[in-house]
Structure 1
């Protein structure tokens, strides 16, 4: 892998991850605010703020890496002003500007409580739509369907993965009954989002691959299989939390909070691996 390809993967991983997690964490704060303490809300706000700070330069780094690739001069070529102007007017540039607009709206929602919900809805939508402007969905004959499925898929992904860090922090709180109530409500809501995630993901895979055989006969299919395996593991941990660990926490079983924190930490590690696989799918390999 060249240095430019490495920067591209890193920029996509940070941009995708930070933007989606920030959207989901802000959603979590709104949905569960009545069950959270003021200190917990403040921690989530700082978490979202940090993610937004990461997402902005990471998104711009995607343009930089694109310019560097086009220049053929390695990383030094990423500063070519003429190529920046050229890339800025392409679909790749439009995707970054749309994502930055979405991140700006999320920042407004973070800073102004009264505008939080509308800013989240508008900003989250722009962030999700920005991912459809580039990559394999853009030039596909089924592009409208792919864009709709991708937006639904990303909305579900954002809420799920964005909730994990707040849940990890909350699992260490002293009030077991309140924590269990949040976890149980999250489990009910997450069930709907996971169903949307899986249905939309299956639709995307079917339209992009055009059959089962490419899963094993193409590089894209094999990376997708790795991603699917990671998702299955993630679902396994989610099921463990919902059906075993959260009920034990609600019952006041000693050690339940620690086991729950470890399980959520494992979910976060899997999410990072899934985001890396997604970055590879959108840049290093192409569907058949």
Structure 2
């Protein structure tokens, strides 16, 4: 069951980052390419599947733990914090899908709606159990990470090589996102893993270490783009655009790995709950 939940969680996170980050890109950088627009629509469809999968698997788990029938679970689940926030997320996705389907989407409005929509996910997860402050910090972490990764996806899907203008705007967006991701991530790490020993002797702690290792690699590639490839593109060097796009694609792949580890963290027992 945990493996299925992690898989659905990874699908959810990947589609969430693609959608919310893609909307930020469309609002702050440039109109999505044809492939980028298709990615946004695909993200909506994947989120529908992910939300259904989460509801079904959570229903099955609740039925197993509580020992009650499926009908009773379906009555009880919407009354829980998780169930209420699931409904909010589903309704929010419907609003986003409708607005995205307009002939001329209003990208700034969509980006703002997407940012607010992410709040429900943060309050629904582990962070929400620690209170509003933890949930808001998790939201900032999710919002910034989605803006970063989703913008990279859009840049990688562009019909042509990235222009200097687009690259500079994505660099500014990534820099702002990084300023939120790092402190919010540090806060979350100390919140969930209160001691150094728990970082090494629990599955949650080891998965968090693996995630941090991939994030460090991702930051290294981001620095390469920031200080070398983007300035070279601005200077008009012929090979710069191709190098930037290749590096961005590797960044996206590493970002997907980060999301997979994040989904795994979402189903592993918290360090204070772990019994070896």
The one-character-per-residue Cα deviations of 1:130-149 (angstroms, maximum 9, x if unpaired) are: 232232x2333xx2220121
Aligned twin of 2:40: 48
Q: Is the 8 A contact 1:13 1:279 kept in 2?
A: yes
* Cα distance change on mapping 1:238 and 1:90 into 2, 3 Å: same
Specify the alignment match of 1:124 in structure 2. Answer: 115
- Any stretches of 5+ residues in structure 2 without a counterpart? none
Q: What corresponds to 1:100 in structure 2?
A: 90
The worse-fitting range, judged by mean Cα deviation, of 247-256 and 96-105 is 247-256
Cα RMSD between the aligned structures? 2.4
Q: Structure 1 residues 126, 159: closer, same or farther in 2, change over 3 A? A: same
Q: 1:245 to 1:115 in 2, by over 3 A?
A: closer
Long gaps (5+) in structure 1: none
Aligned to 1:223: 207
Deviation per CA, 1:207-252: give whole Å up to 9, x if none.
2222333222322211111111111111111111111122223334
Q: Report the counterpart of residue 69 of structure 1 in structure 2.
A: 61
2:255 to 271, 274, 277: 271
The answer to whether structure 1 residue 18 and structure 2 residue 15 are counterparts is yes
1:286 aligns with 2:252: no
Partner of 1:173: 160
| CA distance in 1: counterparts of 2:169 and 2:109, whole angstroms | 23
How many residues of Structure 1 are paired with residues of Structure 2 in the alignment? Answer: 269
TM-score w.r.t. the length of structure 2 is 0.88
Q: CA deviation at 1:61?
A: 0.4
Q: For residues 119 and 183 of structure 1, do their structure 2 counterparts lie closer, same or farther at Cα, with a shift above 3 Å needed? A: closer
Q: d(CA) in 2 for partners of 1:231 and 1:197?
A: 10
Q: CA deviation at 1:115?
A: 4.5
Aligned to 1:9: 6
Give the distance between the partners of 1:246 and 1:139, measured in 2 at CA.
41
Contact 2:122 2:128 (8 Å CA) reproduced: no
Query: Under a length normalisation based on structure 1, what TM-score does the superposition of the two structures give?
Result: 0.84
SS of alignment partner, residue 213 of structure 1: helix
